[in-house]
Amino acid sequence: MDLDANRSLLVAALGRVAAGDRAALQTVYRLASAKLFGVCLRILREQSEAEDVLQEVCLTVWRKAGDFDAGRASPMTWLIAIARNRAIDRLRAGGRSRRMETIDVATEVPDTGTPADVALERTEQNERLQVCLGELAAHESSALRGAFFDGNTYEELAERMNVPLGTMKSWVRRAMMKLKTCLER
Partner 1 sequence: MSEIDSHTGAPDDDLLAAEYVLGVLAAPDRGAAARRIERDHAFAASVAGWEARLAPWTDEIAPVVPPAAVWDRIAGSLPAQKAPASSVWENLAFWRGLTVATGALAAASIAALVYFGTAESKSPLIASLDGAGRHVFVATVDPRRATVLVVPASFSPEPGRVPELWLIAPGGKPRSLGLLNAEKPVTLVVPAGLLPRANTQAVLAVSIEPPGGSPTGAPTGPVIAQGKLTNL
Among 110, 119, 134, 170, binds partner 1 (CB under 8 A): 119
Q: What are the φ/ψ torsions at residue 109 (nearest 5 degrees)?
A: -65, 125
CA R_g for the chain? 18
CB distance 80 to 123 below 8 Å: no
Stretch binding partner 1 (CB under 8 A), from 7-15, 102-110, 151-159: 151-159
Stretch binding partner 1 (CB under 8 A), from 6-14, 20-28, 101-109: 20-28
Among 10, 14, 76, 103, binds partner 1 (CB under 8 A): 76
Stretch binding partner 1 (CB under 8 A), from 7-15, 76-84, 101-109: 76-84
Between CA 143 and CA 122 the distance in angstroms is: 22
108: contact with partner 1 by CB under 8 A: no
Q: Three-state SS for 42?
A: helix
6: contact with partner 1 by CB under 8 A: no
CA 40 to mean position of chain CA atoms: 9
Q: Between residue 83 and residue 102, which ones bind partner 1 under the rule CB under 8 A?
A: 84-85, 88-89, 92-93
Minimum distance between the CB of residue 109 and partner 1, rounded to whole angstroms? 14
CB distance 32 to 83 below 8 Å: no
